Amino acid sequence: MEQVDCAVIGAGVTGLAIARTLSANGREVIILEAENAFGTHTSARNSEVIHAGISYAPGSLKGRLCVAGKQALYAYCAERGIGHERIGKLIVAVQEADIPELHKYVQLGAAQGVTDLRLIGADEARDLEPEVACAGALLSPSTGIVDSHGLMLAYLGDAERHGAALALNSPVLAGRPTPDGIVLKVGGAEPMELLCGTVINAAGLGAQRVAAAITGMPAGKIPPLYYAIGHYFTLSRPSPFRRLVYPTGREGALRAHVTLDLGGQCKFGPDLDWRDGVDYSFDASREAVFYQAVRRYYPALRDGDLQPGYTGIRPRLAGPGSSMHNSATDFIVQDASEHGIPGLINLFGIESPGLTASLAMGEYVLERVAALAH
């Protein structure tokens, strides 16, 4: 039987960041990925936004790791030459009645230590983004965008330079605790059993399934998984926006906000719907709802401007009717003190702002691993 110090299950942005941090701190690491490439699910199907940290409950793990991760991510991208841009974001109150929502973001941001937010009037908002119709806005200058594939490639390169190995097409089928560590049953073309001192379950949309396959894992400690799908439509002409634009009240169809990629392509989304599993099929019938939602703040959108883009699925811990940022949807990082299995750390619900938080999550998991050793 093969042996390894640490196994990280899942080669998305979170798993790669954790592997990078563990290996840089002298741990022997293997990354087990079920797919034939890294970052093929949530990490590749998102808005590629570097979030400021202004939407999360005070004291939440999401908020803490987002703010710390944002600062670390900007520094890392600059140092490593990874494509990114601090373009800023406008959160817009489409009507006067929406302006109190802007003040809520200011309060949430202040609770996380985000102090660069600025409330502006409709005239200044139009000066910044002439195509935006609003009654007022909140400017978040530290919001940005990043090349998520380039970022993951850099994380993987760092991990491999410190001796980590990536095993693709290596799904984890089961696990069992032993006095010497956790034995993982790994499938694929070359099935094997792997004895691991520490196992980090960072499998994203598969995290609940992996946890349930480990002998002795209490079912009551595995949170429910809801497949929250978001559609993105792209703008078929050059972007009229220079910043991200988010309307207030973003649940459901109203979450059709403006995001930009590093090439300047404008897209609108995501909306919010639910699937029964990992199903990325695009529901083109949502186009009419997108036109209606986007025209609330971008009235110059013309018929025919929207083209189907892509979909992404978040591993949500709360289902329909829940607020995206309530306490039930916080990140869960769970160790033996909570589930009773020595050496196992489970990560559940790592959705947005997981990309922004990735470097901070790596440090946080390293601390939890070190604590388990004492």
Instruction: For 134-166, write each residue's pLDDT tens digit.
Output: 999 999 999 999 999 999 999 999 999 999 999
Q: DSSP code of 220?
A: G
Do 235 and 136 share a structural domain? yes
Nearest CA among 109, 88, 107 for reference residue 258: 88
Q: Which of residues 316, 338, 357 is at a domain's end? A: 316
Instruction: Annotate 309-336 with b (16+ C-beta within 10 A) or e (fewer).
Output: bbbbbbbbbbeeeeebbeeebbbbbbbe
Confidence at residue 251, expressed as pLDDT on a 0 to 100 scale: 46
Residues ≥6 apart with Cβ < 8 Å to 263: none
Q: Please check whether residue 55 lies inside any domain of the structure.
A: no
The whole-model pTM stands at: 0.96
- Rounded Cα distance between 87 and 218, Å, is 45
Assign residue 88 a region (left: φ > 0; alpha: ψ between -120 and 50; beta: otherwise): left
Do 238 and 129 share a structural domain? yes
**How many other C-beta atoms are found inside a 10 Å radius of the C-beta of residue 164?**
23
Do 305 and 173 share a structural domain? no
Do 274 and 260 share a structural domain? yes
What is the token pair recorded at 339?
């589930």
- Rounded Cα distance between 126 and 169, Å, is 50
Three-state DSSP at 64 gives helix
User: Which parts of the chain fold into alpha helices (H)?
Assistant: 13-24, 61-80, 99-111, 122-128, 148-161, 207-212, 287-295, 336-339, 354-372
Upstream peptide bond of 353 is cis (omega within 30 degrees of 0): yes
Confidence at residue 253, expressed as pLDDT on a 0 to 100 scale: 42
Confidence at residue 75, expressed as pLDDT on a 0 to 100 scale: 98
What is the token pair recorded at 160?
């491999």
- Rounded Cα distance between 83 and 249, Å, is 30
Confidence at residue 255, expressed as pLDDT on a 0 to 100 scale: 65
Q: Measured between alpha carbons, how far is residue 174 from residues 39, 63, 186, 197 in Å?
A: 22, 33, 7, 16
Contact 347, 202 (CB under 8 A): yes
Do 301 and 170 share a structural domain? no
Q: Please check whether residue 75 lies inside any domain of the structure.
A: no
Q: Measured between alpha carbons, how far is residue 245 from residues 27, 138, 141, 258 in Å?
A: 42, 10, 12, 5
Q: Please check whether residue 57 lies inside any domain of the structure.
A: no
Total domains in the chain come to: 2
Q: Please check whether residue 51 lies inside any domain of the structure.
A: no
Do 170 and 220 share a structural domain? yes
Q: Please check whether residue 61 lies inside any domain of the structure.
A: no
Show the low-confidence residues of the chain (pLDDT under 50).
251-253
Confidence at residue 252, expressed as pLDDT on a 0 to 100 scale: 44
Contact 150, 162 (CB under 8 A): no
Do 240 and 98 share a structural domain? yes
Domain extent at residue 110: 89-141+226-316
Do 351 and 213 share a structural domain? yes
- Rounded Cα distance between 92 and 87, Å, is 16
Do 106 and 253 share a structural domain? yes
Contact 31, 16 (CB under 8 A): yes
Do 233 and 111 share a structural domain? yes
Which pLDDT tens digit goes with each residue over 199-220? 999 999 999 999 999 999 999 9
Q: At residue 217, what is the residue type?
A: M
How much of the chain is helix, strand and coil, in % rounded to 5? 35, 25, 40
Q: Please check whether residue 65 lies inside any domain of the structure.
A: no
Confidence at residue 372, expressed as pLDDT on a 0 to 100 scale: 76
Q: Measured between alpha carbons, how far is residue 71 from residues 14, 66, 248, 320 in Å?
A: 16, 9, 25, 32
Q: At residue 344, what is the residue type?
A: L
Pairing of strands 266-268, 258-260: antiparallel
